Amino acid sequence: MSGRTIRRSCSGWGSDPTTDESAGSLDNRLLLTTGHRCGSQIGTPPVGPVNRVREAGGGRLVAVSLYRDEAIVLRLHKLGEADRIVTLLTRRHGRVRAVAKGIRRTSSKFGARLEPFTHVDVQLYAGRNLDIVSQVESIRPYGASIVSDYRRYTAGTAVLETAERLTAEEREPSLRLFLLVIGALRAMTSDGRAPSLVLDAFLLRSMSVAGWEPALAECAICGQPGPHRSLSVPAGGLVCMRCRPAGSVNPSAASVELMSALFTGDWAGAEAAGPATAKEASGLVAALLQWHLERGLRSLAMVERG
């Protein structure tokens, strides 16, 4: 069951330049450059994944482990005058918070590359509490085309906020979520999909990744095959007439079809839906997600629908 879901969730965005097939070659390319660059950045010769740096204020050389990963920049916040803490969703290390030193100076070597929505290749030193960014290369700067368009920006912000909320534990790898975020950003930029549909597709699939896959065909309670007319948010999806809990709603068949199309990546079907259907489906998707989250998503209320 879960195997089937993995394939469906991760392939639904269409062609994906960051799927596993291409990842090997990308990683190989990066590894070739790692040693030289890390050496030039900190003034010590490269010694593989462990480097020695001077302790702040002391003279002692301490061993630090260095690692490299792909990441999406989720968020930045200020740390003192010139530094920032950057929250990254990495491909292999889950959600990581790291210090980007000197990023707010105009001379910063990676300032512009560490903006939200940017897909980066990043090199970090593992710190005791927070890691430290030592090098950043931009893979895809999705931010420029997202922040220039209000619908993309609000939908994209909700994607990033959801990704952060669904990675409650730092450093818990979630490759599927990482691929979903990349897929969503690409779908609403280079693929030109409607941002609100992309967001709903992302929310449905990320619920599946989190173990809350909505029941869109069989009854959420007894498993009886559909189609069913009623939907219960606490039950987690469609419910049959026998199980139907109090407070269930009766969405239009078109809205249920739209949610199924978004979940499976049937874009032709999804884009044929009218605005009223899209609005109803969005409301149901948001309700299903928010049921599972302790606090609501602030950014979801900002999304412009239709």
Binding site for Zn ion (CB under 5 A): 219, 221-222, 224, 240, 243
Torsion of CA 18, 24, 25, 29, to 10 degrees: 100
Tokens of 151: 């619908």
Instruction: Answer yes or no: are the C-beta atoms of 258 and 122 closer than 8 Å.
Output: no
Reduced 3-state DSSP string for 70-122? EEEEEEEEEECCCEEEEEEEECCCCEEEEEECCCCCCCCCCCCCCCCCEEEEE
Shortest distance in whole angstroms from residue 220 CB to Zn ion: 7
- Nearest-approach distance from CB 240 to Zn ion, in angstroms: 3
Nearest residue (CB) to Zn ion, 227 versus 274: 227
Cβ proximity to Zn ion: between 103 and 240 the closer is 240
Q: Smallest distance from the beta carbon of 256 to Zn ion, in angstroms?
A: 15
Decide: helix, strand or coil at residue 43: coil
Name the phi and psi angles at 209, rounded to 5: -60, -40
> Residue holding tokens 């895809």?
140
The distance of closest approach from Cβ of residue 203 to Zn ion in the complex, given in angstroms and rounded to an integer, is: 24
Q: Which two tokens stand for residue 222?
A: 């007894």
Q: What is the distance between the alpha carbons of residues 205 and 193, in angstroms, rounded to a whole number?
A: 16
Shortest distance (Å) from residue 253 CB to Zn ion: 18
Q: Which is nearer to Zn ion, 210 or 238 (CB)?
A: 238
Least distance from Zn ion to the Cβ atom of residue 232, Å: 10
Nearer to Zn ion, 139 or 243 (CB): 243
Structure token pair of residue 299: 């950014």
Query: 248 or 299, CB closer to Zn ion?
Result: 248
Nearer to Zn ion, 187 or 256 (CB): 256
DSSP 212: -
> Under a CB-based contact definition with an 8 Å cutoff, are residues 150 and 192 in contact?
no
